[in-house]
Amino acid sequence: MTLRQHLEEMIEELKKQVAEMADLALSNLREGLEAFKNNDLELARIVIKKDDEVDQYEEEIAKQALKIIWREQPVASDLRLVTGILKLITDLERIGDHATDIAEMTLHLEGNLNKRVLPLTSKMAEIVEEMVLLSIKGLVHVNEEIAREVIKKDDQVDDLFQQLISKMTTELKHDKIDANELIYVLMVAKYFERVGDHAVNIAQWIIFMVKGTHKNTLLF
């Protein structure tokens, strides 16, 4: 096996680990929302416990990425890719954290949720999940076009968040939702909005891998 082949295998394994980390973070996010919808305290506690696994992935990937840089001394596009992975795993870890945040909101709730506001939150969750999945696809293929598609979708999430705020404000005015419940629902929606932001960050690092620029700033 040549040095080049060995480096390529190590990088492919690194990308595989990132995909596994993303799958776990997304699974926790789905379960966090499910627990919140159904006021499922047991599922919420399970989600909180599983966050340690996401953190372990981040630590292991970071170690492997640094090992590649130190031992293999990659140059040009390979170095950009490994450096980008080092950056974007922080966003994946934060996505896992937001799954835990949502689960913790469930533990603070009392009684049933207001069903009128959940469809908007669920739609936000659906879009941000698609954004994260697309961002990982963009990473696996190192594809700038896919990354830019992720960034475009963020406007939909922001629009739904504003719709939710408007709807909740109206319901509060007409005493159709408890103020404490409103706060928790809004916080959960905000966590999903942040997940969308993290997906955008991942997409921006993919663009960096391709072009060497990050947010229109040339890094190398």
Give the tens place of pLDDT for each residue, 127-178.
999 999 999 999 989 999 999 999 999 999 999 999 999 988 888 787 777 7
Amino acid type, 166: S
pLDDT tens for 108-121 read 775 555 565 678 88
3-state secondary structure at position 217: strand
pLDDT higher than 90, residue 73? no
User: What is the spatial distance between Cα 110 and Cα 9, in angstroms, rounded to a whole number?
Assistant: 51
Buried b (16+ CB within 10 A) or exposed e, 106-129: beebeeebeeebbebbebbbebbb
In CATH terms, the fold of domain 3-218 is: Methane Monooxygenase Hydroxylase; Chain G, domain 1 (1.20.58)
Which pTM does this prediction carry?
0.90
Residue 148: predicted pLDDT:
96
pLDDT tens for 16-31 read 999 999 999 999 999 9
Tokens (6 digits) for 92: 């994946």
Residue 74: predicted pLDDT:
79
Domain ranges of the chain: 3-218
User: What is the spatial distance between Cα 209 and Cα 74, in angstroms, rounded to a whole number?
Assistant: 13
Q: Is 26 exposed, middle or buried (0-12, 13-18, 19+ CB in 10 A)?
A: buried
CA atoms within 13 A on the CB side of 7: 17
For residue 189, give the nearest of 219, 208, 163 by alpha carbon: 163
Mean residue pLDDT of the chain comes to 88
